[in-house]
């Protein structure tokens, strides 16, 4: 099943997908454009993976994939929903999108062996994790301003139950900028797969329901300008639409 969180008539609703439309928890059936989309879950800890696709590591001039996962965190206000707007800072000269599979944890757990990792997964959604390269200090210690700014991570539209994704390590990821294709990759090309990431993170810290692991992006990124519409899509998971707007320091 595909789950969402939306705003309609001044309220936040749980919703599900129904024949290309949105069914609210009270049974009403609406068109996609009739609701305001929120991230499909209320997030816990948000984990990000750097350099988890060798093609992307090469693309940004990093000569070799890391020997162990490179993980950092971001706050909940960095998320925005489907059809949301992401501000581009006025001083940015290179701000790129990243289509990523997001893994949502479903139970409190620690020391999860990789052979049992999928047991703790609630489901999957699509993330677009923008990076503002102007602010980067180095690839192993990403500056908070690179990826931590408000609304720089669209998430959604749907959270797809884990049971409905039989092989999350064989999903096609694609991106378009104003209708032009840019990224085209597959989750099988991750350096560290989903079981490895869950085993690694749970090996030293407790994971909780609602925690999100963004698993990295393939190559094909490019600068996103104000006014650009960015679409990130993962087969079987969803199609996420986002627009770049000028940053308003007063907002």
For the chain, which residues make up each domain, given as ranges? 1-38, 39-246
Rounded CA separation 27/222 (Å)? 41
When comparing pLDDT for 61 and 194, which is higher?
A: 194
DSSP secondary structure string for all residues of 111-166: S--GGGGGGGEEEEEEEE--EEGGG--BTTB--HHHH-STT-EEEEEEEEEGGG-S
The Cα diameter of the chain in Å comes to 53
Rounded CA separation 14/22 (Å)? 10
Tokens of 238: 């969803």
CB under 8 Å to 167, separation ≥6 — which residues? none
Rounded CA separation 221/56 (Å)? 8
Name the DSSP letter for residue 196. H
Mean pLDDT of the chain: 93
Buried b (16+ CB within 10 A) or exposed e, 121-145: bbbbbbbbbbbbeebbeeeeebeee
Residue range 23-38: mean pLDDT, rounded: 97
Lowest mean pLDDT among 6-15, 83-92, 139-148, 236-245: 139-148
The number of helices, as runs of H, and strands, as runs of E, in the chain is 3, 19
CA pseudo-torsion sign 80, 153, 206, 160: positive
pLDDT in tens, 46-100: 999 988 987 655 555 556 677 899 898 999 999 999 999 999 999 999 999 999 9
Q: Is CATH 2.30.30.370 the classification given to domain 1-38?
A: yes
Rounded CA separation 142/113 (Å)? 28
Distance of CA 192 to the CA centre of its chain: 17
pLDDT in tens, 135-165: 876 655 556 778 889 999 999 999 999 999 9
Tokens of 121: 């997964």
For residue 225, whether the previous peptide bond is cis, meaning omega lies within 30 degrees of 0, is no
The answer on pLDDT for 242 being more than 90 is yes
Residue range 111-126: mean pLDDT, rounded: 98
pLDDT in tens, 196-219: 999 999 999 999 999 999 999 998
Rounded CA separation 144/184 (Å)? 27
Q: What percent of the chain has pLDDT over 90?
A: 83
Res 63: pLDDT = 62
Tokens of 222: 């490019």
User: Would you mind telling me the total number of residues written for the chain in this entry?
Assistant: 251
Query: What is the band of 251 on the pLDDT scale with cuts at 50, 70, 90?
Result: low
Domain 1-38 matches domain 39-246 at the CATH topology level = no
pLDDT in tens, 162-178: 999 999 999 999 999 99
In the CATH scheme, what is the homologous superfamily, with its name and number, of domain 39-246? Fumarylacetoacetase-like, C-terminal domain (3.90.850.10)
CB under 8 Å to 233, separation ≥6 — which residues? 99, 126, 173, 174, 175, 176, 239, 240
Lowest mean pLDDT among 9-13, 51-55, 191-195, 216-220: 51-55
């Amino acid at each position: 099943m595909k789950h969402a969180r939306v705003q309609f008539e001044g309220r936040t609703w749980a919703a599900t997908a129904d024949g290309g439309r949105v069914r609210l928890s009270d049974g009403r059936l609406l068109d996609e454009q009739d609701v305001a989309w929120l991230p499909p879950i209320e997030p816990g800890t948000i984990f990000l993976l750097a350099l988890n696709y060798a093609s992307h590591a090469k693309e940004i001039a990093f000569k070799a994939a890391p020997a162990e996962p490179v993980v950092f965190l971001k706050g909940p206000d960095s998320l925005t929903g489907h059809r949301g707007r992401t501000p581009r800072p006025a001083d940015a000269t290179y701000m790129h999108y990243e289509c990523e599979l997001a893994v949502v944890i479903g139970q409190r757990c620690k020391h999860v062996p990789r052979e049992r990792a999928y047991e703790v997964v609630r489901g999957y959604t699509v993330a677009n994790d923008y990076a503002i390269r102007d602010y980067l200090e180095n690839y192993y210690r990403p500056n908070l301003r690179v990826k931590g700014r408000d609304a720089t991570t669209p998430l959604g539209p749907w959270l797809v139950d884990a049971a409905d994704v039989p092989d999350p390590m064989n999903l096609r990821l694609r991106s378009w900028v104003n209708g032009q294709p840019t990224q085209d990759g597959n989750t099988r090309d991750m350096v560290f797969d989903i079981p490895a990431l869950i085993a690694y993170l749970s090996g030293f810290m407790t994971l909780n329901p609602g925690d999100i692991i963004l698993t990295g992006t393939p190559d094909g990124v490019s600068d996103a300008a104000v006014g650009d519409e960015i679409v990130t899509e993962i087969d079987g998971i969803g199609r996420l639409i986002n627009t770049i707007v000028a940053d308003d320091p007063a907002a």
